[in-house]
Amino acid sequence: MQDDDALRETFAIFNEIGIVSQLSRAMFEARLPEGAGLPHFSLLNHLIRVEDGRTPLALARAFQVPKNTMTHTISGAVRHGWVELRPHPTDGRSKTVWLTEAGRRFRDDAIAALAPDLAAVIDATDAEGRAVLLERLTELRVFLDGYRDRNGSAS
Amino acid sequence: MQDDDALRETFAIFNEIGIVSQLSRAMFEARLPEGAGLPHFSLLNHLIRVEDGRTPLALARAFQVPKNTMTHTISGAVRHGWVELRPHPTDGRSKTVWLTEAGRRFRDDAIAALAPDLAAVIDATDAEGRAVLLERLTELRVFLDGYRDRNGSAS
DNA sequence: CTCCATTGGTTCAATGTCGAACAAGATAGT
DNA sequence: ACTATCTTGTTCGACATTGAACCAATGGAG
């Protein structure tokens, strides 16, 4: 009985997460220029925050996404001129991903375009609520990530 | 400065939500039989929990999804024999969605197949954390839903 | 009754995501 | 050096999701 309630509650959590994921993605993409998706923005943002010159596989791992998905995202970013690929200096199989000037500009513009929506979310929530939400979400993400490896395949 | 931190934190929240959505979806779909996706399960589950005989549009609204997406999900469920469509009694444009016996069986089996994974999540978290997580997520979902209507289109 | 805007649903094209299979370079064991 | 295996990345096919355009039935204005 109590067990059943916990199952229902947990399922409801994943349900809400799915819906929020959908809605927030739509909200962000509505602010990005034509042809730009959230994956592209996330990629550029990561390359600025962390470092240039990563390999596609390292990026795929950072985003918890299969490597073919990263291939697809990068090829789109290349097509738009936001990043460029250069051969890996020591490993002939691999490549490295580098930001272009246009990529930096796109990312800065996108940050500015997204800020009002984020500010609206901040207005509508309280600081402590956000902190605990992020904490619980991270806990859940870490668990699921390990759980997947425990029961299944690698990236 | 503090504003900037809040922006970063909020963005991180949406980031984690996206990843958890991905991971949980993959976890669930790995337990469902070949050809069955999470949308189909959610649909059948909703039809059992709430009521049979809903129209596709009502279902689309319930899932916060455009109506063509619901068309696609329903047609898949029909193809697998889990639901059937009947004409709407009073509105010639509309249809109604009804569970079949196979649909009920599929849903019951899926619940049983998913329970161990949910139980693992329950084991790895504490009850109070789950409650507050669900609460904050719901708050966020409600806000985003209203925010979308305020700035944009209907379903 | 006749128009015509509205509503419910489908179709089409575009994009994102992912598993499986593949090609090519790197690496370890012999 | 040679071969078997592993790693990196791409290609291909499948499905989910969505906006836009479209069709058919409804229902109100005149």
Residue B140 sits in a domain whose CATH number is 1.10.10.10
- Taken in order A148, A149, A152, A155, the sign of the CA dihedral is positive
User: DSSP letter string over A55-86?
Assistant: -HHHHHHHTT--HHHHHHHHHHHHHTTSEEEE
Q: Is the pLDDT of residue A2 over 80?
A: no
The closest nt to B153, taking CA to C1', is D19
**Using CB atoms, which residue from B27, B139, B152 is nearest to A144?**
B27
pLDDT above 80 (res A153): no
CA distance A68 to chain B (A): 15
What confidence score (pLDDT) does residue A16 get?
94
How high is the pLDDT of residue A34? 83
Among the residue ranges B4-18, B25-39, B140-154, the one predicted with the least confidence is B140-154
Provide the chain B residues 82-141 that lie in CB contact (below 8 A) with chain A: 114-115, 117-122, 124-125, 127, 129-134, 136-141
Q: What is the pLDDT of residue B106?
A: 95
What is the pLDDT confidence band of residue A3, given thresholds at 50, 70 and 90?
Answer: confident
Query: How many residue contacts between A and B have a Cβ separation below 8 Å?
Result: 157
Q: Where are the alpha helices (DSSP H) in A32-152?
A: 38-49, 56-62, 67-79, 101-124, 127-151
For residue B149, name the pLDDT band (cuts at 50, 70, 90).
Answer: low
Average pLDDT over residues B106-112: 94
* Count: domains in chain A: 1
Q: Does position A142 have pLDDT exceeding 80, yes or no? A: yes
Chain C bases near protein CB atoms (7 A cut-off) = 7-12, 15-21, 23-27
- Over 90: is that where the pLDDT of A152 sits? no
What the block records as the tokens of B73 is: 């999900």
In chain B, residues 2-21 whose CB comes closer than 8 Å to chain A: 6-7, 9-21
**Would you state the pLDDT for residue B151?**
65
Interface test with A, best of B117, B133, B134 (most A CBs within 10 A): B133
Q: What is the pLDDT of residues B42-70, one digit of tens each?
A: 999 999 999 899 999 999 999 999 999 99
* Domain extent at residue B105: 2-151
pLDDT (tens digit per residue) in A13-72: 999 999 999 999 999 999 998 889 999 999 999 999 998 999 999 999 999 999 999 999
The answer to whether the Cβ–Cβ distance between A22 and B64 falls below 8 Å is yes
What distance in Å separates the CA atoms of residue A30 and residue A13, rounded to the nearest whole number? 26
- The integer distance in angstroms from the CA atom of B58 to the C1' atom of D21 is 22
For residue B153, the model assigns a pLDDT of 47
State the average pLDDT over residues B84-95: 96
Does nucleic acid strand C have an atom less than 7 angstroms from the CB of B94?
A: yes
Structure tokens at A149: 């490896």
For the cut 60, the answer to whether the pLDDT of residue B39 exceeds it is yes
Q: Provide the pLDDT confidence category of residue B83 given band limits of 50, 70 and 90.
A: very high
